Structure 1
Amino acid sequence: HQYLHPGGAHDDAVLETADRLGVRLLLARGWADRNYEPRLTETVPEVLERTSAVARRWHGAGDGRIRVETAPLIPWGCSDEAVRAATAASRSWGAGMHVHCAETAVEVEMNLQERGMRHVHWLDSLGVLGPDTQLAHSVWLDSDEIDLVAARGATVVHCPVSNMYLASGVAPIPEMLRRGVSVALASDGPGSNNRQDLFEAMKVAVLLQKVHHLDPVILQPEHALHMATRGGARAAGLGDRIGAIEAGRLADLVVVDLNSVFVAPVHRVVSALVFNVTPREVRHVVVDGRLVMRDRDLLVADEQAELRAAVQCCRELFERAGLGQPLRLD
């Protein structure tokens, strides 16, 4: 969910980097057309023109690895007109829509007061809730909303670490799965998580439900792995092309070393992947059949040089903002 666009070139920079690295990226271009920071607010025509321009340049690039869709930021920051128009535009080039949904109880109450509807019913009333819709967070869905999400085939994007970090609440994931909702797993951004680690997200997703329900078997490692793989593939509109190792699917693979002091001895592979493995155990990565990491060596960029450049950029930003200097690690 890319919703900061300083200078208008940020989206292109992100997409160019993804293309250069050979990764798969669905960029959900975020926006708000009301009730938002004025310098970041876009009018409906601006939303349509800018998102469509990014899509014309990038949607389908990299042999289909790079895709672009619309992403109304938050219900209280987006008008009905803009949500309808932007979703229709995104669907016109074969993409979907990503939106923050019921992340906090306060936001749900705001929608009830203004529109007389909870988030999912509001989206459905606009005609935008469907199999190509990704509902980020969905912490405060009620029973009727869960059934409606299942009926429309939309995907919930579960961000357990972020929900804990911000004290948003605990999403009713076991109930969603029982009712047939497709759930994907995500880390959320660094502003509400600090790290983007899907292994951590898998473990936390299971443990959070256990302690919340005081039930040690309410969510299993298999559920977390499914959300992280097949669930994510479906959310990206590629449910029949990636997300599993099967004949005919694209080769997006992560090879993990289980012979580690943090993992071995292994009794159940799925439990080891969810509860033991961290990014340090990732040995090889393949995207669309191309090896991008081999024996823990990133083949598509100089990782140390990129880290040095990022730290230097951060120092310059802190200096311009008058915040002092970040911690030096060199």
Structure 2
Amino acid sequence: MASTVATTRGRCHAWLRSRGGAPRRSSDDGRETMKKVLIKNGYVVTVNREREIFERGAVAVTGKHISGVYAHEDTPTDGFDEIIDASGCLVIPGLINLHQHTWYSMFKGIADGLLLEDWITDIVFPIVANLSDEAMRLGSYQCGLEMLATGTTTSFNHSVTVTDSNTVRAIVEPQAEIGIRQFFGKELRCRNDRFVEHPLSLDESLAAAEEEILYWDGKHDGLVRMGLVIEANAHWTSSGMSTEELIVRGTELARKLGVKISSHIAAGTFSTEQGFLKHLRETGRTDVRYLMQLGVLDQQWMLIHGIHCTELDLEQMAHVGAGLVYTPTSEAIRGGGIAPAANALRAGVPTALGTDGAMVDYTNDMLEQVKACVLFQHQRHLDPTRMSFERSLEMATINGAQVLGVADQLGSLEAGKLADIAVFDMRKPHVGSLQRPLSAFIGAGKGTDAKYVMVNGEIAWREGAFTRCTDSRGILDSVERLAPEIVRKAGLSSRLDPQWKRLAY
């Protein structure tokens, strides 16, 4: 397997080229100039401040940045190295996935029929004990390829395992190689009286996290960005996996380094025996209230799931500028509930979308999350006006950039912003008639309708092929060989059987 991974890395080699900056070409006199690309004749949804839409519009790209967005009659024609005809296509900002666990992609299909708490103890813990850096690398490749091929250009990878420098490298480099933008959330954990097996003290863990963040942030022409994972919910603090001192000092480090903090909150089974309500009864506080009591909650924090957030929680989050990340299909498949995303937006909470990793609900398709967000919010409120397709798309684009703190760089199609662009073919039979193209496509289209995906001004997915990775099939083959081996070592072979063999009717 190691030789397979080495071969794959050789074929997905373009990360070396990415260190050189924006895509360039040579002029006649030998000088290097930035490549210019024009995407024209598309249904251009800018998600800019005015929410402009241009039928048969155009987006011009120079190097890494968008140099112009045009109505059809104003579209330039000369001076481009490549012109892409996007007739019949939706052109939008690249989708932003704010909650991802990349290695989960290796284990799709094994977690049916489990509540969150049982899924963690029965599936996650045994598999984590059998993961290797090789598995982390392959999972990162696979997940990145899936996201690119479905229109996602940026993700926040929330680490749920203990990582050292080698593991971080194994996770970070593959996605830079294939050309997708990743924020890696380095986990902050430490040895304490109840978590004695962790190799580092709090001081050592803080120093290690700072070293990784300073080393990686901005690497590979800005495709690699960093963040912190500080688990601050009742599940983690009651188990000893997180402590008040860790939360407070970790927040101080994040503020010092100017990076975002990701934390799972207010999710899980709503019962008195296990999960959120059990801890609420024991502690008398919600997860958001706990962070407010510690005096740490601010705009640095991205709070994930938030299924059981109260209206007071949302008001407090809005007051301090903390973001909420809603993962609709993940919450649904575990029977956890429907997060109050529409209420969060109404309260003024910056609210974005994520997938949560494909071992949960088996998808990395952000377009699916955009549609599910609309459907589930309508179901929660029994009101078909609570979440429009347009508002849900904002959550997967400009809102995601806002929660990440990079709305000046990403999230909309505007001159000066980084050229992260997704072009979807709307002429597929399953999409059908396009009286209202945006609603029709989000409601009937699929992430796999992505025709072109551009990141940092470079096309990474072009008409069914990856441009920076020539052996995507080899990656998937390697995953298919390694994943069952890990499942067997974890003692979960029975989970590979069809559901019919496990259910009694």
TM-score by length of 2: 0.60
Q: Is the 8 A contact 2:163 2:187 kept in 1?
A: no
Aligned to 1:97: 261
User: What does the per-residue CA deviation read over 1:150-182, in whole Å, with 9 as the maximum and x for residues that have no partner?
Assistant: 111111000111111112211112211111111
Q: 1:156 to 1:268 in 2, by over 3 A?
A: same
**Structure 1 residue aligned with 2:349, among 167, 178, 181?**
181
User: Alignment RMSD, CA only?
Assistant: 2.3
Number of residue equivalences: 326
**Structure 2 residue aligned with 1:213, among 381, 390, 394?**
381
Aligned to 1:51: 209
**Structure 1 stretch displaced more, 299-308 or 316-325:** 316-325
Q: 1:150 to 1:324 in 2, by over 3 A?
A: closer
Q: Is the 8 A contact 2:317 2:323 kept in 1?
A: yes
State whether structure 2 residue 429 is matched by structure 1 residue 261. Answer: yes
SS at match of 1:191: coil
State whether structure 2 residue 225 is matched by structure 1 residue 84. Answer: no
User: What does the per-residue CA deviation read over 1:253-292, in whole Å, with 9 as the maximum and x for residues that have no partner?
Assistant: 1110001011121121221332112122100110111111
- Structure 1: which 5+ residue stretches go unaligned? none
Q: 1:221 to 1:171 in 2, by over 3 A?
A: same
What is the rounded CA distance, in whole Å, between the counterparts of 2:307 and 2:481 in structure 1? 37
**Structure 2 residue aligned with 1:63, among 210, 215, 221?**
221
Structure with more of its chain in strand, by fraction: 2
**Structure 1 stretch displaced more, 99-108 or 295-304:** 99-108
**Structure 1 stretch displaced more, 77-86 or 105-114:** 105-114
Alpha-carbon distance, 1:322 to partner? 5.5
State whether structure 2 residue 459 is matched by structure 1 residue 306. Answer: no
Aligned counterparts, 1:107-146, within 5 A: 107=276, 109-110=278-279, 113-114=282-283, 116-146=284-314
Q: Which has the higher contact order (CA 8 A, sep 6+)?
A: 2
Alpha-carbon distance, 1:190 to partner? 2.0
State whether structure 2 residue 232 is matched by structure 1 residue 232. Answer: no
Q: Is the 8 A contact 1:27 1:68 kept in 2?
A: yes
What is the rounded CA distance, in whole Å, between the counterparts of 1:135 and 1:300 in structure 2? 33
Q: Is the 8 A contact 2:175 2:182 kept in 1?
A: yes
**Structure 1 stretch displaced more, 234-243 or 67-76:** 67-76
Aligned to 2:186: 29
Aligned to 2:231: 73
Q: 1:46 to 1:268 in 2, by over 3 A?
A: farther
Aligned to 2:175: 18
Identity rate of aligned residues, in percent? 26
Larger Rg: 2
User: What does the per-residue CA deviation read over 1:97-122, in whole Å, with 9 as the maximum and x for residues that have no partner?
Assistant: 111111134336525633x4321122
**Structure 1 stretch displaced more, 105-114 or 251-260:** 105-114
**Structure 2 residue aligned with 1:316, among 479, 485, 488?**
485
The residue identity in structure 1 corresponding to 2:253 is A
What is the rounded CA distance, in whole Å, between the counterparts of 1:54 and 1:92 in structure 2? 14
The residue identity in structure 2 corresponding to 1:235 is V
**Structure 1 stretch displaced more, 197-206 or 122-131:** 122-131
Alpha-carbon distance, 1:65 to partner? 2.3
SS at match of 2:397: helix
**Structure 1 stretch displaced more, 151-160 or 75-84:** 75-84
What is the rounded CA distance, in whole Å, between the counterparts of 1:36 and 1:70 in structure 2? 22
Alpha-carbon distance, 1:204 to partner? 0.9
Q: Is the 8 A contact 1:159 1:185 kept in 2?
A: yes
Alpha-carbon distance, 1:324 to partner? 5.0
What is the rounded CA distance, in whole Å, between the counterparts of 1:41 and 1:137 in structure 2? 29
What is the rounded CA distance, in whole Å, between the counterparts of 1:62 and 1:112 in structure 2? 47
Q: Is the 8 A contact 1:138 1:171 kept in 2?
A: yes
Aligned to 1:279: 447
What is the rounded CA distance, in whole Å, between the counterparts of 1:59 and 1:149 in structure 2? 27
